[in-house]
Amino acid sequence: MTDHAAQDTRQAIVEACREMNRSGLNQGTSGNISVREGTGEGPGLLITPSGMPYDRMGAGDIVAMGLDGQVRAAGKPSSEWRFHVDILRARPEVGAVVHAHPTACTSLAIMGRAIPPVHYMVAICGGRDIRCAPYATFGTEALSRHALAALEGRTACLLAHHGMIALGATLDQAMWRAVEVETLARQYLGCLPLGEPPELSDDEIARVLDRMTGYGHAG
């Protein structure tokens, strides 16, 4: 990645963080974003700094890290840097990771609930459901392990008592997916007062997955 491209990526991360808060996808400084980058120092990522309000964040505050978990320049990365690094190392097709605490997703995560196939758009995350990873303290290796397991064969998951993670080949795709997952969570929550909603069959989800190739940001 050239210096100019890296600067553009840094600015795109800043703008995405601000959009998360404007849209209600996140509140305060709790979310974080990373984007894969390759430099002469080897494969790595650009990630949001720890605890900095988004309206004060600039492109120069974005932290460069290697996929070995080492910080490459001045700055303190997000406290959740570990699962960002581990996801990007384990999933070469992923170019960006978005983590946030949207209200509906987090409400389901507090209850330890996955999002079942109550709407065909669940398939944008790669399968029949959006899993909820078991709880572990934020920023820990245990949380990263749980997240990787919940994301196996998927591009989004919930984190128990915590929030959600959405992946994408690009930052735009990861942000789009995060918004769609929060929408699905709101729809599911809206059904629950009426009882457990009916679910689409595995065969139908397989048909949807087949038809979604190239759909919007999904393919």
Q: What is the pLDDT of residues 43-89, one digit of tens each?
A: 899 999 998 999 999 999 999 999 999 998 878 999 999 999 999 99
In this structure, are residues 130 and 199 in contact, taking their beta carbons and an 8 Å threshold?
A: no
3-class DSSP assignment, residue 164? strand
**Residue 216 pLDDT:** 61
The distance between the two most distant Cα atoms of the chain, rounded to a whole number of Å, is 56
- Residue matched to tokens 């997955």: 209
Which residues span the domain enclosing 155?
Answer: 3-211
Tell me whether residue 107 is in a domain: yes
Strand pairing class (156-159; 132-133): parallel
User: What's the number of domains the chain is made of?
Assistant: 1
Q: Which of 39, 52, 202 is nearest to 117 (CA)?
A: 202
pLDDT digits (tens, 9 = 90+) for 203-216: 999 999 999 876 66
Amino acid at 205: I
pLDDT in tens, 96-153: 999 999 999 999 999 999 999 999 999 999 999 999 999 999 999 999 999 999 999 9
Query: What is the pTM for the complete model shown?
Result: 0.95
Is 9 domain-assigned?
yes
CATH of the domain at 100: 3.40.225.10
Task: Answer yes or no: is 45 within a domain.
Answer: yes
List CB contacts of 37: < 8 A, sequence separation 6 or more: 1, 6, 9, 43, 44, 45, 46, 64
Mean confidence (pLDDT) of the chain:
94
Q: Output the CA–CA distances (angstroms, integers) from residue 172 to 96, 98, 187, in the order listed.
A: 9, 10, 23
pLDDT of residue 40: 59
- Single out the catalytic residue among 15, 19, 37, 80: 80
Sign of the Cα pseudo-torsion (200, 202, 203, 206, in order): positive
Does any domain span residue 219? no
Residue 218, domain member (yes or no): no
Residue 196 lies in a domain: yes
Distance CA 112, CA 135 (A): 9
Distance CA 14, CA 2 (A): 18
Residue 15 known to be catalytic: no
Among residues 128, 148, 127, the alpha carbon closest in space to that of 136 is found at: 148
Quick check: 153 and 160 in contact, CB under 8 A? no
Q: Where are the alpha helices (DSSP H) in the chain?
A: 3-23, 81-90, 103-110, 141-150, 171-191, 202-211
**216 located within any domain:** no
Residue 217: inside a domain, yes or no?
no
Q: Do the bridges between strand 63-66 and strand 156-159 make them parallel or antiparallel, or are there none, so unpaired?
A: unpaired
- Residue 1: the pLDDT is 55
